[in-house]
Structure 1
Amino acid sequence: MLAASTALPLHAFNFGSSKKLKIALVGTGIRGITFWGKRLVDQYSDIIEFVGLSDINESRLAYGKKYIAVSCPIFTDFEKMVKDTRPDLIIVTTKDSTHHQFIIKGLEMGCDVLTEKPLTVDETKCQAILDAEKKSNKNLIVGFNYRWSPYATKIKELLMNKTIGDLVSVDFNWYLNTYHGASYFRRWHGEMGSSGSLWVHKATHHFDLLNWWIDSEPNEVFAYGDLEFYGKNGPFRGDNCRNCNHAKECDFYWDISQDEFMKELYVDHEHEDGYIRDNCLFREDIDIYDKMSAQVKYADNTTLNYSLTTYSPFEGWRVAFNGTKGRIEASQDIPYHKINTISEAEKHTNEMAQTNKEELSYEPIIVHKLWHEHETIQVPMEKKGHGGGDKRLQDKIFKTTDTEDPYGRTAGIRDGAMSILIGIGARRSIEQKKVIQISQLTDLKPQKKR
């Protein structure tokens, strides 16, 4: 049953009728009100309607309603919202450590659920979600957008076609720059209990891509990690950036009051729940890792070498696939590979943007077969909306639900679980200083083929 849920049948989405899909959103932070809020209203209002918004912060909730531009009621009580509005689909964009509460309750109350990544933050909560999904007759979708970018899809196509034979090993390195990387340490993501660390919150994106590309499931993981740059390692610290005595000497100083949107979304409402968006990067209570590396062995015997750096001079990534007949190399945003048109400070903002007006560009994938010269494949590229993945993911969910996807990009509960279990296993490996078996974390047993 769980294996079948990877190929997700969204039976409740009856777009062929005159009835619009009723959506309720819980969590009105930036991802909730932009990508899963305003963009849905702008692009799909002919087939969907928001029937309710929920958040623990009533002030931010009112702002979110205005920003999304909907007329639905707002609720600080999630269960009341579901009972009163009877949505078809609940979208969960709350703090990571609370995802399980709304996923499980939504399924129990008879709704399909779409959750932002990560599925949840630890193995106990993951098992509770698996159990709830088994008991329900509803669907759980995980919003993995990276799969849907044309560049990632081209890599999948080459691997599916056995361009380099059978896959043997993979090397994957992700670099967060000192703008985007630092942003995680300013907020609740820097606390293990809230985010599960970047092994889960951020790397779930990467592990899902890898599971999908490799077409197998992780069997065991061994990892290293440490906190050596942010948190207690800083040369000084303050309450938050806007009130800091070290503003002139801190390379990471960020004045949130100069960003009108961030001020209106967070600063204007922090009096209600105490959520400070511009916390000091060097505060003592940061307890996640800022450097991470892991080795993962898959059920089909493919091995993965993975690393994540959170304070790199540039933002980008590299991946290399080694096969029995050759090697594929791919990368994004490595600055000395090409002339960049945007600064490091602008990269994340550009990636998150949802506008469709963009000049077409091309990025190379290198294919090197044994006994042959390498070949360069130029892939048409988009930068905005996570490489074009955002809009393609939403089109699949809301417009082309029944259209067969040869690349299997729709992610269900098993995909969501397997992606976080690598990160959770990596955390446990660091804590226990040993190899962690994925099968010992939940009742899911890794399969050779997804």
Structure 2
Amino acid sequence: MTNSRRKFISSISMLAASTAMPIHAFDFGKTKKLKVVLVGTGVRGTSFWGKRLVDQYSDILEFVGLCDINPGRLEYGKKYIGTSCPTFTDFEKMVKKTKPELVIVTTKDSTHHEFIIKGLEMGCDVLTEKPLTTDEDKCQAILDAERKSDKKLIVGFNYRWSPYATKVKELLMNNAIGKLVSVDFHWYLNTYHGASYFRRWHGEMESGGSLWVHKSTHHFDLLNWWIDSEPSEVFAYGDLEFYGKNGPFRGDKCRTCTHKNECKFHWDITKDERMMNLYANHEHHDGYIRDNCLFREDIDIYDKMSAQVKYANNTVLNYSLTTYSPYEGWRVGINGTEGRIEAWQDIPYFKNDTIDEAEKHAKEMAQTGKDEIAYEPVILHKLWNKHETIQVAMEKSGHGGGDKRLHDKIFKSPETKDPYGRTAGVRDGAMSILIGIGARRSIETGKPIKIADLTDLKPKIERS
């Protein structure tokens, strides 16, 4: 391995281990490129961790292999990403033949642990899409595997990297509201985006671990980072009252449903060329239906969720996730001994916003095109003083500008110290999912769940 590639891998390892560690500089593009493989060629893998890397970083990295259980989706994914690398349906065969330095995991959530562990054991650094995994046993297996390996794991949390989220972190780091006391955080999924989870494998507990894990892991990681502590206990409520068996009617799938004229949730996948090419045209290989009925009987996850989380530093979090809101957005109130921070995104009543909800989601997920800069307010209200409105410049595409900043950090400047500590390693990934896993266990038992009882990780008062 060349010196520059050694520096690259060393930098990746230190990024994952701790942002407080010194990062050594390295030179890209002067010798051989970083050898990358991707396992899981679904929409996230082929776009964010596929095509975008080829389009933006081909001078410093190259795909040497793609892997998926569906050969049709695999071949389409190869064309969409824009690579000429070989394809595989056997992960271990791919790694042995291509000898990658970095494995990117974007498979179904319940299988993340398989490829993370195999990748580490086979001598590769691993970067996984969120969530880390779906239950405490798989989480412990990942923790054990990384400890035994001399390689490291990075979790792709992009929300931390948006300028808006970073401004909130900056205020908290500067002690703008004194000692943290409590946080109220509420996320609203609309009837376009929220419903989409129930069409897919995400609607089944064994595949995605419920939205407590698949979706809320994003939110819990953001909160852990803002609060700068780790969760110690969670108590939760949840139920399935809208989707699944609660629907007024159901069909085989949207394409063939006899209720398409009366169902407000009907989605015509045939009008989405990308979804047809990626999924529908290849469903005969593995039976995965992308436009499943969201009222099918086998949906067993929750569609309403509420939790109270106590942190090791005594901060209390009140959290909720709504899955069929008229609009998509979120709001947070962070209370301290000297004031309060209020922040929100995409609440239509707070400005004259008439954008279509489907279009809004498409913009957020977009990885190409010209960045659209917007200014969004953060409210800082100190005790005994008038509130201050801080306008934050941010992009609307790529998850508020977080996507490109995450990629740049990993692939362009891992040697540069980040004052906000935004890079996430295995412990961050674990602590975000353990809140969701604990919430599930709390609903099942009716009791509060100690985070320390789930794995051998003991919550820290301070993350750093």
Report the TM-score when normalising by structure 2: 0.95
Aligned to 2:67: 54
Deviation at 1:6, TM superposition (A): 3.9
Structure 2 Cα separation of the partners of residues 228 and 121 of structure 1: 23
C-alpha distance after superposition, 1:350-379 (max 9, x if no partner): 100012513321000011100000110000
Whichever residue aligns with residue 250 of structure 1, its letter is C
- Distance in 1 between residues matched to 2:15 and 2:77, nearest whole Å: 37
Paired residues for 1:273-352 under 5 Å: 273-352=286-365
Q: Equivalent residue for 2:5? A: none
Partner of 1:268: 281
Give the whole-Å Cα distance in 1 for the aligned partners of 2:156 and 2:395. Answer: 19
Structure 1, residues 234-254: CA drift from partner, whole Å, max 9, x if none? 000000000000000000000
Equivalent in the alignment of 2:129? 116
> Deviation of residue 12 (structure 1)?
11
| Structure 1 residue ranges without an equivalent (≥5) | none
CA contact (8 A) 2:126 2:154 kept: yes
Q: Is the 8 A contact 1:314 1:344 kept in 2?
A: yes
Report if the CA contact (8 A) 1:6-1:413 is conserved: no
Residue identity over aligned pairs, in percent, reads: 77
Q: Does 1:441 align with 2:423?
A: no
Q: What are the residue-to-residue correspondences of 1:201-220 with 2, within 5 Å? A: 201-220=214-233
Say if 2:51 and 2:82, in contact at 8 Å, map to a contact too. Answer: yes
Query: What is the distance in 1 between the residues matched to 2:410 and 2:42?
Result: 21
Q: Structure 1, residues 268-307: CA drift from partner, whole Å, max 9, x if none?
A: 0000000000000100000000000000000000000000
What is the aligned partner in structure 2 of residue 394 from structure 1?
Answer: 407
Structure 1 residues 220 and 302: CA distance shift in structure 2, 3 A: same
**Distance in 2 separating the partners of 1:135 and 1:438:** 23
- 1:6–1:415 Cα contact (<8 Å) kept: no
Other structure's SS at 2:307 match: strand
Deviations 1:133-164 (A, max 9, x none): 00001110000000000000000000000000
User: Which segments of 5 or more consecutive residues in structure 2 lack a partner in the other structure?
Assistant: 1-12
The residue number in structure 2 matching 1:125 is 138
CA distance in 2: counterparts of 1:64 and 1:166, whole angstroms: 48
Q: Which residue identity does 1:446 align to in structure 2?
A: P
User: How far 1:5 moved relative to its partner?
Assistant: 2.3
Q: CA deviation at 1:77?
A: 0.4
Partner of 2:164: 151
User: What residue in structure 2 maps to residue 5 of structure 1?
Assistant: 17
Match of 1:34 among 36, 44, 47: 47
CA gap 1:8/1:97 in 2 versus in 1, 3 angstroms: farther
User: Helix, strand or coil for the counterpart of 2:440?
Assistant: helix
One-letter code of the match for 1:255? D
- Structure 2 counterpart SS, 1:200: helix
For 2:26 and 2:256, the matched residues in 1 are separated by: 51
Structure 1 residue aligned with 2:85, among 54, 57, 72? 72
8 Å CA contact 1:3, 1:414 repeated in 2: no
The alpha carbon displacement at 1:15 in A equals 4.2
Residues 1:198 and 2:211 are matched in the alignment: yes
Determine the C-alpha separation between the residues in 2 that align with 1:110 and 1:9.
22
SS at match of 1:388: helix
CA shift, 1:10, in A, is 10
In the TM superposition, 1:149-188 aligns within 5 A as: 149-188=162-201
